[in-house]
Amino acid sequence: MKNQTLVKLRAGEPVYGFAAGLGSTIATEALAAAGLDFVFLDGQHGSFGMDRIIDCLMAIGVCGSDAVARVPVNDFTWIGRFLDEGCLGIVVPMVNTADDAKKAADAMRFPPIGTRSWGWGRAARYGANYTDVIDNEVFLAVQIETKTAVENAEAILSTPGVDGCWVGPSDLALSYGLHPRDRFKSEIHAEAVEKILQACKNTGKFAGYCTSGPQEALALASRGFQFLTVGSDAGFILNGIAQEMAELGVEPNKQRAY
């Protein structure tokens, strides 16, 4: 087995992925079939139960993209479950300190490197040598998304077993007293993001970001960001609906949540 997303990250190249949050196997399959590097299963905010996560992992597996998942919380059991079912990358939310980072890193890999429990589910599809190679084929991206995490970024990223980060710009904005929609014009937000990027460069870890779309993703890649989500299943549907309604001259629903 080979984690092609990780191969690119180690080579210093950018990787791009679509986020799946609707809990739809068919929508996730469509994202995977598009041909980007990875599909990001959102186990924190997405409409997924574990059974549906497994269905979506199967859909991703037949399309050639790598499966990355955000776990609901920084927890030994959750991280292990997603790995056991075949995820090759794990994103852990709300990592604010080096101790938080160590907790996540320990859960990622088998002893003696970490403390992952011996056992697996559908990850057995990777072959009989799964346990011999998997510790070198998975990656951990911790989410740096608070003011505290920014202040501790270099210590977090220096933690053994942390491979990089994925910035959550909306929660980051909130932690600085900003509404997420105002982050694009905020110098405070921009300075925090730059501090995170510099911490990644100082520690030799990859920098990631939840982008608003391809233009922002390309701009961030030009600055050195590598692990980039560029759209989501819900976003594609809602944006497509809005475009069609605009062409029809129909006023969109002002109460939509997205």
The closest of 42, 37, 33, 34 to 7, measured between CA atoms, is: 37
CA separation for the pair 116, 118 (Å, rounded): 6
Q: Is the peptide bond before 252 cis (omega within 30 degrees of 0)?
A: no
In the three-class reduction of DSSP (H, G, I as helix; E, B as strand; rest coil), residue 128 is classed as: coil
Q: Is the CB of residue 43 less than 8 Å from the CB of residue 79?
A: no
In the three-class reduction of DSSP (H, G, I as helix; E, B as strand; rest coil), residue 190 is classed as: helix
Burial class (CB in 10 A: 0-12, 13-18, 19+), 215: exposed
Which residues face 39 on adjacent strands? 18, 67
Q: Maximum distance among all alpha carbons in the chain? A: 62
- Those residues with Cβ within 8 angstroms of residue 244's Cβ, 6 or more apart along the chain or in another chain: none
Q: Is the CB of residue 59 less than 8 Å from the CB of residue 93?
A: no
Residue type, 198: Q
Pick the catalytic residue: 2, 10, 45, 223?
A: 45
Beta-carbon count within 10 A of 48 CB: 23
Is 45 one of the catalytic residues? yes
What token pair was written down for 136? 């070198």
> Which residues carry out catalysis?
45
